[in-house]
Amino acid sequence: MILKRVASNSDGTFGVLIDMGVAFALTIENPWLNNKRNVSCIPDGIYECKRVESPRFGNTFEIKDVPGRTHILFHTGNTEDDTEGCIIVGEQFEYLGDKAAVLSSRKGFGEFRRRTADVGSFTLNLVTV
């Protein structure tokens, strides 16, 4: 799976999730703040993602082996305030009040779950374009 980050500003880092050459969801992460825990997106790179059961978000995937970071998950939400260093999956970029957001998060995350239903892990190639 590929996550192409296509834009970043003070409201967050925005991307497109691609599986087998097909773009299927949008993402929002924190802006880049030198990989600081809970407030920054993670560095570009290739990461192994393992299935986990999160007490807060249920069945999802954790991005493993991020330097200096742990518990980075894919989950639902809307703005970078909801990320805490994780990746939020949705289907539409929009504004909530004066903040850029990703909307239809449950639907987008549902598609992410369908695409990963039969795997315990996958490789994520995270790139900024």
Is residue 18 within 8 Å of 24, Cβ to Cβ? yes
d(CA 129, CA 123): 19
- Look at the chain and report how many structural domains it folds into: 1
User: Containing domain of residue 55, as a range?
Assistant: 2-128
pLDDT (tens digit, 0 to 9) for every residue of the chain, 129 residues total?
Answer: 999 999 999 999 999 999 999 999 999 999 999 999 999 999 999 999 999 999 999 999 999 999 999 999 999 999 999 999 999 999 999 999 999 999 999 999 999 999 999 999 999 999 999
Q: Tell me if 128 sits within 8 A of 5, measured CB to CB.
A: yes
pLDDT score at 100: 96
Question: Going by DSSP bridges, is the β-strand pair 121-128/2-9 parallel, antiparallel, or unpaired?
Answer: parallel
Q: What is the pTM of this model?
A: 0.96
